[in-house]
């Protein structure tokens, strides 16, 4: 029986390594994203949801780094475009309603205002960025998927680096444990991160 020399084995291993199919960061991110979808019940079941409610708790800071305290937010979305936010927290209690075109808000000082300018942009971005829609981001060909860590998926839009969504997954269950909607234009429109403490309630 003929045996390969150590030098031949080394050369063969090197050649085999060269011709192994390489996976791109985008492929790795998409595989991780699909694991998350499966853990949540599958893309088709997520897409069939008509009414989505989520409650979150987050710690908040101002731009100087001063901590303001805990904020509790209830998000309600009804297909196709109805959004309502109810938030309670020190100096940051408000209510917002948006129907996909227009809406209103009750401000922290208890004043009432129609959505306009930055507030209208905020509502549109929030509607497009709710967790339920980010869980179906693979259905939009304009979305780009990358990974910044083994359990973090970053979703951005082709030719637009101004906004991105970062989803951190549990390394065992692949369920999302933290999601951040990051604005590179204005830090005042979105908080730098949000910590999901209690999962949303879903109605199919």
CA-based angle 104:111:128, to the nearest 5? 30
The SS3 call for residue 202 is: strand
With residues binned 3-state (H G I as helix, E B as strand, rest as coil), the percentages for the chain, rounded to 5, are 25, 40, 35
Tens digits of residue pLDDT in 4-62: 444 443 443 333 333 334 445 566 999 999 999 999 999 999 999 999 998 888 777 77
Tens digits of residue pLDDT in 93-131: 999 999 999 999 999 888 999 999 989 988 998 888 788
Q: Is residue 18 part of a domain?
A: no
Q: Is residue 98 part of a domain?
A: yes
Mean pLDDT of the chain: 78
The pLDDT of residue 114 is: 96
Q: Is residue 8 part of a domain?
A: no
More confident call, 148 vs 26: 148
Q: Is residue 199 part of a domain?
A: yes
- Note if the pTM is more than 0.75: no
- The residue segments making up the domain with residue 100 are 24-203
More confident call, 74 vs 24: 74
Q: Is residue 75 part of a domain?
A: yes
Q: Is residue 46 part of a domain?
A: yes
Question: By the 8 A CB rule, do 53 and 76 touch?
Answer: yes
Q: How many structural domains is the chain composed of?
A: 1
CA-based angle 172:176:181, to the nearest 5? 145
Backbone angles phi, psi at 150, to 5 degrees: -65, -20
| pLDDT of 1 strictly over 80 | no
Q: Is residue 101 part of a domain?
A: yes
Read off the pLDDT band of 144 (50, 70, 90): very high
CB atoms < 10 A from the CB of 158, how many? 10
Compute the distance between CA of residue 49 and CA of residue 81 in angstroms, rounded to an integer. Answer: 13
| pLDDT of 199 strictly over 50 | no
The pLDDT of residue 198 is: 35
| pLDDT of 87 strictly over 50 | yes
Read off the pLDDT band of 154 (50, 70, 90): very high
User: Which CATH number goes with the domain that contains 86?
Assistant: 2.50.20
Read off the pLDDT band of 148 (50, 70, 90): confident
The pLDDT of residue 21 is: 40
From its phi and psi, is residue 100 left (phi > 0), alpha (psi between -120 and 50) or beta? left
Read off the pLDDT band of 188 (50, 70, 90): very low
Q: Is residue 15 part of a domain?
A: no
Short-list 108, 59, 51, CA closest to 84 = 51
Determine the average pLDDT of the residues in 180-195.
Answer: 52
């Amino acid at each position: 029986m003929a045996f390969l020399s150590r030098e031949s084995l080394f050369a063969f291993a090197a050649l085999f390594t060269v011709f192994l199919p390489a996976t791109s960061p985008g492929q790795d991110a998409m595989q991780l994203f699909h694991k998350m979808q499966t853990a949540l019940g599958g893309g088709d079941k997520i897409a069939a949801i008509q009414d989505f409610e989520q409650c979150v708790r987050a710690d908040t800071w101002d731009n100087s780094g001063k901590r303001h305290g805990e904020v509790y937010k209830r998000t309600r979305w009804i297909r196709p475009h109805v959004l309502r936010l109810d938030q309670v927290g020190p100096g940051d209690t408000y209510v917002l309603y948006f129907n996909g075109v227009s809406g209103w808000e009750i401000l922290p000082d208890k004043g009432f205002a129609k959505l306009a300018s930055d507030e209208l942009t905020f509502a549109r971005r929030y509607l497009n960025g709710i967790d339920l829609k980010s869980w179906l981001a693979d259905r939009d060909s304009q979305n780009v998927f990358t990974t910044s860590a083994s359990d973090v998926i970053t979703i951005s839009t082709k030719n637009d680096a101004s906004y991105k969504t970062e989803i951190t997954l549990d390394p065992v269950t692949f369920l999302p444990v933290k999601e951040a909607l990051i604005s590179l234009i204005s830090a005042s429109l979105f908080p730098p991160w949000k910590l999901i403490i209690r999962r949303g309630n879903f109605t199919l």
